[in-house]
């Protein structure tokens, strides 16, 4: 028996590539180190043979990748003496901000859109003691207000316009490279504000020791020895009712069942276009039907439960694999951004699993089993 060192979160793990010092008090909940799961049954359903993985970010402490950025943002806010943080959120950022603020002993203010927020996310923010401001408007309205109010009140913004968020989130790319022993050929993500696709590009660029224009604004750790010699093509998928990158302009009234990417005014617009160009990737869009079908397929065929927005990466990737746009033989990673338990209502609404009502008797249970065994 060999004992393992306790994993204490991504800042500690990637300390030499993140902007912290020996004295920095780390605000961590053990985020990162999420599983990279090779798809087995879904690959058999594809028209072409590929090596496809999902990075299950729903297994972070609050159930989404937002924790990777939040541990950095809150650590730095506390280091700078902040007593309060603020964010606009479609749900997951608020859940994460609330948790890390609780851990740090500071206050979180979260602006969430009235209605359109998944139950699980609201429950988290409420339990973790955030001050919840439910606004009569959508995410984009909330984001505008957060930027305005930060000039008038002593609060640190922890949305992805906070540069430390992307620094934390880039570590997902590190983990993928380390586990695959190489960079994938394609990395597919759902895109809302486009912070995460930009963060992954920073991470891949650092490990390949290659330039990206994003580093002009987001200090990257360059000058290190390259760990791999290539970077993936980055592919971003949006919901078709909320697809500013496909329209080529901001969208004012975004609509989609995938509430986490119901964003019409992406904050990382320029970064995302740079990622597309530098990586040779592309943007595309998926319908709500495709997104929900992919979410269900993942759960039914692989036992992996992600929230609707997360399934957008797989929905788009499957289409591009079948069409040959992603060539046969490729190594592909799809990020599953958040956990399925975040949004139980949408899941139950679209579930077709048989629920058989029986009396509490052996005979009835036995009959129900025999009736439902595979033929």
Ligand X SMILES: *Cc1c(COP(=O)(O)O)cnc(C)c1O
Q: Toward ligand X, which CB reaches closer, 75 or 337?
A: 337
Q: Toward ligand X, which CB reaches closer, 193 or 346?
A: 193
Least gap, CB of 199 to ligand X (angstroms): 7
Give the residue at shortest CB distance from ligand X. 338
What element of type H or E holds 134?
A: strand 131-135
Instruction: Say what the alpha-carbon torsion angle 230, 32, 121, 247 is, to the nearest 10 degrees.
Output: -10
Least gap, CB of 206 to ligand X (angstroms): 18
Least gap, CB of 95 to ligand X (angstroms): 9
Is residue 191 a contact residue for ligand X (CB under 6 A)? yes
Least gap, CB of 239 to ligand X (angstroms): 10
- How far apart, in whole angstroms, are the C-alpha atoms of residue 97 and residue 87? 8
The correct pick among 71, 310, 330, 346 for binding ligand X (CB under 6 A) is 310
Residue 239's beta-bridge partner residues? 286
Is residue 260 a contact residue for ligand X (CB under 6 A)? yes
Look at phi and psi of residue 32 and say left if phi exceeds 0, alpha if psi is from -120 to 50, else beta.
left
Is residue 64 a contact residue for ligand X (CB under 6 A)? yes
Is residue 309 a contact residue for ligand X (CB under 6 A)? yes
User: Residue 274 has which token pair?
Assistant: 């740079």
Q: Toward ligand X, which CB reaches closer, 21 or 309?
A: 309
The correct pick among 9, 32, 168, 195 for binding ligand X (CB under 6 A) is 195
Nearest by Cα to 63 from 26, 94, 27:
94
Q: Toward ligand X, which CB reaches closer, 101 or 143?
A: 143
Is the Cβ–Cβ distance between 296 and 45 less than 8 Å? no
Q: Toward ligand X, which CB reaches closer, 156 or 313?
A: 313
Is residue 242 a contact residue for ligand X (CB under 6 A)? no
Contacts of 198 (CB under 8 A, 6+ apart): 166, 214, 218, 268, 271, 272, 274, 275
Is residue 95 a contact residue for ligand X (CB under 6 A)? no
Q: What does DSSP say about strands 51-56 and 36-38: parallel, antiparallel, or unpaired?
A: antiparallel
Q: Name residues contacting ligand X, limited to 315-344 (CB under 6 A).
A: 337-338
Residue that the structure tokens 């760990």 belong to:
227
Cα(first)–Cα(last) distance of the chain, in Å? 45
Contacts with ligand X, residue ranges (CB under 6 A): 64, 66, 92, 160, 190-196, 260-261, 307, 309-310, 337-338
């Amino acid at each position: 028996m060999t004992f393992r060192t306790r994993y204490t979160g991504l800042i500690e793990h990637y300390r030499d590539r993140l902007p912290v010092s020996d004295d920095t008090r780390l605000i961590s909940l053990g985020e990162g180190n999420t599983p990279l799961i090779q798809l087995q049954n879904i690959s058999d359903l594809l028209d072409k043979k590929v090596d496809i993985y999902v990075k299950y970010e729903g297994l972070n402490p609050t159930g989404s990748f937002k924790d990777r950025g939040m541990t950095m943002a809150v650590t730095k806010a506390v280091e700078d003496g902040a007593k309060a943080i603020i964010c606009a959120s479609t749900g997951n950022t608020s859940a994460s901000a609330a948790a890390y603020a609780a851990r740090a002993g500071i206050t979180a203010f979260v602006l969430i859109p009235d209605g359109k927020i998944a139950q699980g996310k609201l429950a988290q923010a409420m339990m973790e003691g955030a001050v919840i401001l439910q606004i009569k408007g959508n995410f984009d309205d909330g984001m505008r207000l957060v930027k305005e109010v930060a000039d008038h009140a002593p609060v640190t913004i922890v949305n992805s316009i906070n540069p430390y968020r992307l620094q934390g989130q880039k570590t997902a790319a590190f983990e993928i490279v380390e586990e695959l022993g190489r960079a994938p050929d394609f990395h597919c993500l759902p895109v809302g504000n486009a912070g995460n696709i930009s963060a992954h590009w920073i991470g891949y660029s650092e490990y390949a020791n290659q330039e990206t224009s994003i580093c002009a604004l987001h200090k990257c750790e360059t000058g290190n020895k390259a760990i791999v010699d290539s970077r993936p093509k980055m592919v971003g998928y949006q919901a078709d009712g909320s697809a500013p990158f496909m329209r080529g302009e901001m969208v004012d009234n975004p609509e989609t069942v995938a509430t986490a990417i119901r964003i019409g005014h992406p904050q990382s617009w320029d970064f995302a276009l740079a990622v597309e160009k530098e990586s040779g990737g592309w943007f595309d869009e998926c319908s709500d039907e495709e997104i929900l079908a992919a979410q269900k397929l993942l759960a039914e065929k692989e036992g992996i439960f992600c929230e609707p927005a997360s399934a957008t990466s797989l929905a788009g990737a499957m289409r591009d694999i079948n069409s040959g746009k992603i060539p046969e033989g490729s190594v592909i990673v799809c990020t599953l951004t958040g956990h399925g338990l975040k949004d139980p209502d949408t899941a139950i609404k679209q579930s077709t699993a048989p629920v058989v009502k029986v009396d509490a008797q052996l005979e009835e249970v036995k009959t129900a089993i025999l009736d439902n065994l595979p033929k």
